[in-house]
Amino acid sequence: MNRAIAPICSLLLLLASCSSQSPSSKPGTSDASPSSSTTDALPIGVALAQTSNLALLGQESVNGAKIAEQFFRDRVKASGVPVRLVFQDAGGEEASAINAFQTLITKDKVIGIVGPSSSQQAFSADPIADRAKVPVIGPTNTAKGVPEIGPFIARVASPVTVLAPNSLQAALKLNPGINRVAVFYAQNDAFSQSETGIFQQAIKDKGLEIITIQKFQTTDTDFQTQAIAAINLKPDLMVISSLASDGANLVRQLRELGYKGLIVAGNGLNTPNIFPVCGVFCDGVLIAQAYSPEYASAMNKSFREAYTRQYKQDPPQFSAQGFTAVQVFVEALQALNQKSSVKNLSLAELRKALNDQILKGRYDTPLGEISFTSEGEVVQKQFYVAQIQVNSDGKSGRFALLK
Amino acid sequence: MSLTLLLQNILNGLSIGSIYAIFALGYTLVFSILGIINFAHGAVFTLGAYFTYFLMGGATGFNGLLANAKLPIALPFWVAMLVSGVFSGLVGIAIERLAFRPLRQRGADPLLTVVSSLGVALVIVNVIQYLVGAENYTFPAQTFGNLPPAVNFGTADNPIPIRTVQIVIFLVSVVVLAVLTYLINATKYGKAMRAVAEDPTTSSLLGIDTDRFIVLTFFVSSFLASIAGSLVGSSVSIAGPYFGIGFGLKGLAVIVLGGLGSIPGAVVGGLVIGLVEAFVPGEFSAYKDAVAFGLLFLTLLWRPRGLMGRKVIQKV
């Protein structure tokens, strides 16, 4: 329904906005009858997947962004520039992400965009924002080459090059006898392809033998052919790069078919959403994380409390990254405003100045302290390796930090 | 290919194929009576899986309007699957009333019904997402009691493990197909349904309430979709509101391969496509659909009516 209605609505709204606006209008002034409370607040676009098979990932980031909106609204109420989030469904395809970006840029006149959900979409939608000189922060785009898309593109998701080898090291610590490794990856996903390359290089660097590489699709549900082919080769370790749903199903089927060794899963499985899929079979899986709810800092404590109050569970990584992306925009905007009032800037000037400020700043976030390289790559200090511990109900669990 | 892998692939193929067969039978029943494809069938398949999950006492996730809610009951899988089938059957009747009957009564082009059923499918899928979010939902680990997760058909040294759920799916599918075959071939209702399918006007003249049997057909069709959805859900979890869409397309391939409107054809088509897919190597899983549709293409070149389709005689 959304898919069918969204393009029609977008077209109507675009027509409406064309008839009433000049290109040099101030940010967020396109709404026909905005309430007085929202006209003053500067709009930040959030273009994440709320429908399609990416919705599982996108909804988590949206939840984090919503927590951030409330959190920083309270903080900047007294002094500072208020912001509001404008949500557009970026769907699961490249085209739907492009539509969402274009609507946010041309109709909503946002000062910056948080999104899209997947690296695959980022390679299509980010160039549009870059050409329009609108700063973009990718909350969950970890594939190689995303910040290099253009000077207005940054991300708060650490690249897989940093994360992947940590979990292999943890597996070797738990079982020093590991030698034969089976590798699985989703071949239709840019993130998984990028991650498996890093994993495979790390496996070779540690002197281990890759005995088989099994490929599948993120949309697959039956992995018995791949699982049996790998199990028959008697591996000591299995390494999986995938998204949440497919990877969790693969873990479940590997265990059901009798594999008892260690499993290292990539960052795509770093979400409590895998518990309903693999249940008790998730137990013991090792996952490298860019975020841990157990990370001790005042900011993470505040975020974790706000999230748990709202959603009755610990925040997953994608929510923390969604929160962080909004936080970076808000804090950079406040820093910019302290130098000189942003209200005196035109939209184009504000977007440019905001982008420069984002790349200069340091941010104390739930992910830990982060900053950016001049290309927009995140520089993050804390990383974690967790081992999944499933609760006795078989439906929930926790990512227990490995020290 | 080793004997182990061969046996595993055959058993996997039969399991997947039997699900395709049940699902495609729903398409076939409606097609045989109305001569049109019900594109909402895949959405009812999804809906049935969700109904079963909630009837088993499953809770909703933290997204959607009904976040963190659950029913005060927890039925065993088998009961939940059948009750879910009845609920889905009622949804099927509603679909017939809303999307098919008004157009049929106005003598609309069948193509319009295709569009209206597609619309219903989009509504169902998006309502599901609005209410319960896009999360995965998985049936409890003890869905089938205390059965082991896999059964070894080989020896301890040379194991041939098959997931128990696959065996259950195959056996349930065989039972469902047997019951349906009996209902259609050996009961008064079945004969009436076949008569309506053969010629609605003549059967109406002979005293058969055509509309009533069309409604019954939609009920049975949606019941079958729901059973298929519940069985697939028990095997691989409910992968969000969109997970029936792929099955919808595959079901189309099955009925065209088997022969449009042919009930044995749907069964044969389902098993053939299931077996062919099982033999596609894992690394080429992206091409499973291509193999299935390629097979369909070749079959249609050879037999344009499908494997078991009848030649339609145009009467002047």
Q: Is the pLDDT of residue A56 over 60?
A: yes
The structure tokens listed for A25 are 């209008």
Over residues A34-54, mean pLDDT: 74
A211-243 pLDDT, tens per residue?
A: 999 999 887 888 888 898 899 899 999 999 998
Least CB–CB distance from A257: residue in B68, B140, B161:
B161
State the nearest Cα–Cα gap between B232 and chain A, in angstroms: 9
Over residues A48-61, mean pLDDT: 83
Q: Is the pLDDT of residue A378 over 50?
A: yes
**Best-predicted range by mean pLDDT (A109-118, B65-74, B285-294):** A109-118
Is A172 within 8 Å of A206 (Cβ atoms)? Answer: yes
The total of other beta-carbon atoms located within 10 Å of residue A66's CB is: 20
Half-sphere exposure for B46 (CA within 13 Å, toward CB): 27
Over residues B117-125, mean pLDDT: 93
Over residues A282-287, mean pLDDT: 93
Q: Is the pLDDT of residue A24 over 60?
A: no
Partners of residue A277 in chain B, C-beta under 8 Å: 136, 138, 237
Q: Are A228 and B137 within 8 A, CB to CB?
A: no
Q: Which of A27-41, A67-81, A373-387, B233-247 has the lowest mean pLDDT?
A: A27-41
**Best-predicted range by mean pLDDT (A28-32, A165-169, A278-282, B214-218):** B214-218
pLDDT: which is higher, B83 or B189: B83
Asked if B131 is an interface residue toward chain A (Cβ–Cβ < 8 A), one would say no
B130 closest CA partner among B88, B53, B67:
B67
Partners of residue B235 in chain A, C-beta under 8 Å: 221-222
What's the mean pLDDT when you consider all of chain A?
Answer: 86
A60-80 pLDDT, tens per residue?
A: 999 999 999 999 987 877 668
Over residues B155-180, mean pLDDT: 86
Q: Are A53 and B240 within 8 A, CB to CB?
A: yes
Is B17 within 8 Å of B232 (Cβ atoms)? Answer: no
Q: Is the pLDDT of residue A10 over 90?
A: no
pLDDT: which is higher, A336 or A18: A336
Using a pLDDT cut of 90, give the percent of chain A over it: 57
Would you call A219 helix, strand, or coil by DSSP? coil
Q: Is the pLDDT of residue A326 over 70?
A: yes
B13 closest CA partner among B300, B301, B292, B297:
B292
Q: Where residue A2 falls among pLDDT bands split at 50, 70, 90?
A: very low
Would you call A367 helix, strand, or coil by DSSP? coil
Is A181 within 8 Å of A239 (Cβ atoms)? Answer: yes
Partners of residue A311 in chain B, C-beta under 8 Å: 62
Least CB–CB distance from B141: residue in A56, A231, A280:
A280
Asked if B10 is an interface residue toward chain A (Cβ–Cβ < 8 A), one would say no
3-state secondary structure chain B: CCHHHHHHHHHHHHHHHHHHHHHHHHHHHHHHHHCCCCCCHHHHHHHHHHHHHHHCCCECCCCCCCCCCECCCCCCHHHHHHHHHHHHHHHHHHHHHHHHHHHHHCCCCHHHHHHHHHHHHHHHHHHHHHHHCCCCECCCCCCCCCCCCEEECCCCCCCCEEEHHHHHHHHHHHHHHHHHHHHHHHCHHHHHHHHHHHCHHHHHHCCCCHHHHHHHHHHHHHHHHHHHHHHHHHHHCECCCCHHHHHHHHHHHHHHHHCCCCHHHHHHHHHHHHHHHHCCCHHHHHHHHHHHHHHHHHHHHHCCCCCCCCCCCCCC
Over residues B42-61, mean pLDDT: 93
Give the count of Cβ contacts less than 8 A between chain A and B.
Answer: 125
Report the residue of chain A nearest B164, measured CA to CA.
Answer: A256
B281-306 pLDDT, tens per residue?
A: 777 777 888 888 888 899 889 888 88
CA distances (Å), origin B150, targets B147, B210, B229: 8, 47, 21
Give the type of residue at A227. A
Distance (Å, rounded) from C-alpha A3 to C-alpha A6?
A: 5
Interface of B with A in 164-203 (CB under 8 A): 164-166
Q: Is the pLDDT of residue A147 over 60?
A: yes
Q: Are A221 and B281 within 8 A, CB to CB?
A: no
pLDDT at A334: 94
A47 closest CA partner among A100, A92, A105:
A100
pLDDT at A21: 37
Q: Are A313 and B134 within 8 A, CB to CB?
A: no
A193-210 pLDDT, tens per residue?
A: 888 999 999 999 999 999
Q: Which of A56-60, A92-96, B173-177 has the lowest mean pLDDT?
A: A56-60
State the nearest Cα–Cα gap between B127 and chain A, in angstroms: 9
Partners of residue B134 in chain A, C-beta under 8 Å: 50-51, 53, 55-56, 59
Over residues B174-181, mean pLDDT: 89
A163-177 pLDDT, tens per residue?
A: 778 889 999 999 999
pLDDT at A38: 45
pLDDT at A402: 83
What's the mean pLDDT when you consider all of chain B?
Answer: 87
Q: Where residue A49 falls among pLDDT bands split at 50, 70, 90?
A: very high
Asked if B77 is an interface residue toward chain A (Cβ–Cβ < 8 A), one would say no
Q: Are A276 and B136 within 8 A, CB to CB?
A: yes
Distance (Å, rounded) from C-alpha B108 to C-alpha B104?
A: 6
B126-162 pLDDT, tens per residue?
A: 999 889 987 778 887 677 877 888 888 877 777 778 8
Asked if B249 is an interface residue toward chain A (Cβ–Cβ < 8 A), one would say no
**pTM higher than 0.80, yes or no?**
no
B133 closest CA partner among A273, A330, A320, A23:
A273
The dihedral of CA B293, B294, B298, B299: what is its sign? negative
- Residues 6 or more apart whose CB falls under 8 angstroms from that of B159 comprise A258, B4, B152
Q: What is the ipTM of this complex?
A: 0.74
Rounded-to-10 torsion of CA A126, A127, A132, A134? 30
Least CB–CB distance from A56: residue in B8, B126, B134:
B134
Parallel, antiparallel, or unpaired for β A153-155 and A209-216? unpaired
